[in-house]
Amino acid sequence: MSAKKTGVPERVRVELGERSYDILIGKGLLSQVVEYLRPLKLGKHGVIITDTNVEPLYAGAMCDALGKGGFAAEVLSVPAGEASKSLRQANRLFEKLPSHGLDRQSFVIALGGGVVGDLAGFVAASYLRGLALVQVPTSLLAQVDSSVGGKTGVNLPQGKNLVGAFYQPKLVLADIDTLGTLPERELRSGFAEVIKHGAIRDAEFFVWLEREFKRVLALDPKAVTHVVRRCCEIKAEVVSADERESGLRAILNLGHTVGHAMETLSDYSGLLHGEAISMGMCCGARLSIKRAGLSKADAQRLCDLIAASGLPTRLGKTFKLGELLEAARLDKKARDGKLRFVLLKRLGEAFVSDAVTDVDIREVVDVCR
């Protein structure tokens, strides 16, 4: 671990040939945005897409920093919350962009959490057939996961992320100082994706998390830097090997089959993404005991870490099993109507299985309610 106090950022490279890019992680990066933007040789004009919570906190400072460096960017804001990851908001942004005089050299900065990143990424991918995208993630979830890897998109009432595009950013700037204003519940939600990265790919990191999770949730800068860096390294490695999810990349979806179905059933309100996938990971752990030989002890460790981090492990009783199965089948991960689940052989080793039956799911959902 090598967090630096001085603003020299940690750097993780996502290797994707001509689409390769850097993720920079550190303190005070927002005010230094121009230093990192300049080498990208983009145009001088762009837009910052953000949301109504993040705008008053960080958009002004970012505009000032850009202005001082000879760049100009107007701010476009959407209402905070998952409901803004919609075609309606994408359309609103598309209709505003022509009056901003953008051209093919212009850039889009996604300043905010995963909702802003996914929505702004989709808009950047589509407008003028693609504008340069810079991700400036401000939530833990976005810093450890959603800003990296190029999945962009919006939800439909029928399901999560059903409309979208693979579109890699030119740069990701993760300023860990921004986490200081993140509501605690959102911080925990992001921590769910951190646990996921350890569970699918790095048993040693998982053990570190079991020991140090309190320091992370207390925003100790060294611990946070380590976590953001390690998750980005894991995600970069997986995405570099399988950019468009024809194989390995699907392991990043641990907990997401059930999690996305729970989000859809909740109409994208009331349940945070990280909370939904926490429940999904606990279901996944139980399915893994049955179908992948995961030891009961390891399954318990996963659920214990989730619970100790203040995240939900139980699905609750308010939904009907049939509805959950139906929502899960509409998820992009289903293939020929068959559900696909990420299972764990052991902590740190995951694979995708289509051997899980409706009976298995019924059993697990009953136990996890």
Ligand X SMILES: NC(=O)c1ccc[n+]([C@@H]2O[C@H](COP(=O)([O-])OP(=O)(O)OC[C@H]3O[C@@H](n4cnc5c(N)ncnc54)[C@H](O)[C@@H]3O)[C@@H](O)[C@H]2O)c1
According to CB under 6 A, which residues from 252 to 281 bind ligand X? Answer: 273
Nearer CB in complex with ligand X: 154/292: 154
Region of 110-118, 292-300, 311-319, 342-350 interacting with ligand X (CB under 6 A): 110-118
Catalytic residue among 201, 260, 286, 333: 260
Distance separating alpha carbons of residues 71 and 150, to the nearest angstrom: 25
Distance separating alpha carbons of residues 235 and 27, to the nearest angstrom: 21
Nearer CB in complex with ligand X: 196/226: 196
To the query of whether residue 45 is one of the catalytic residues in this protein, the response is: no
Would you count residue 342 as binding ligand X (CB under 6 A)? no
Would you count residue 219 as binding ligand X (CB under 6 A)? no
Q: Which x/- pattern, by CB under 6 A, does the window 174-203 give for ligand X?
A: ----x--xx---x--xx-------------
**CA terminus-to-terminus distance, the chain:** 39
Task: Kindly tell me the sign of the dihedral angle through the C-alpha atoms of 143, 184, 350, 357.
Answer: negative
List the one residue out of 166, 318, 339 whose CA is nearest residue 253.
Answer: 339
To the query of whether residue 260 is one of the catalytic residues in this protein, the response is: yes
Nearer CB in complex with ligand X: 22/145: 145
Distance separating alpha carbons of residues 357 and 218, to the nearest angstrom: 40
Structure tokens at 69: 């460096």
List the one residue out of 328, 295, 314 whose CA is nearest residue 365.
Answer: 314
Distance separating alpha carbons of residues 287 and 270, to the nearest angstrom: 26
Candidate residues 24, 115, 131, 217; the one interacting with ligand X per rule CB under 6 A? 115
Would you count residue 53 as binding ligand X (CB under 6 A)? yes
**Which amino acid, 291?**
R
Hey, what's the torsion of the CAs at 121, 124, 122, 193, to 10 degrees?
-10
To the query of whether residue 210 is one of the catalytic residues in this protein, the response is: no
Would you count residue 139 as binding ligand X (CB under 6 A)? yes
Minimum separation from the CB atom of position 46 to ligand X (A): 20
Minimum separation from the CB atom of position 51 to ligand X (A): 5
Structure tokens at 256: 């997401």
To the query of whether residue 314 is one of the catalytic residues in this protein, the response is: no
Distance separating alpha carbons of residues 131 and 42, to the nearest angstrom: 10
Binding site for ligand X (CB under 6 A): 51, 53-54, 57, 80-82, 85, 112-116, 118, 138-139, 141-142, 145-146, 149, 151, 160, 178, 181-182, 186, 189-190, 273
List the catalytic residues: 129, 151, 193, 235, 245, 249, 253, 256, 260, 273
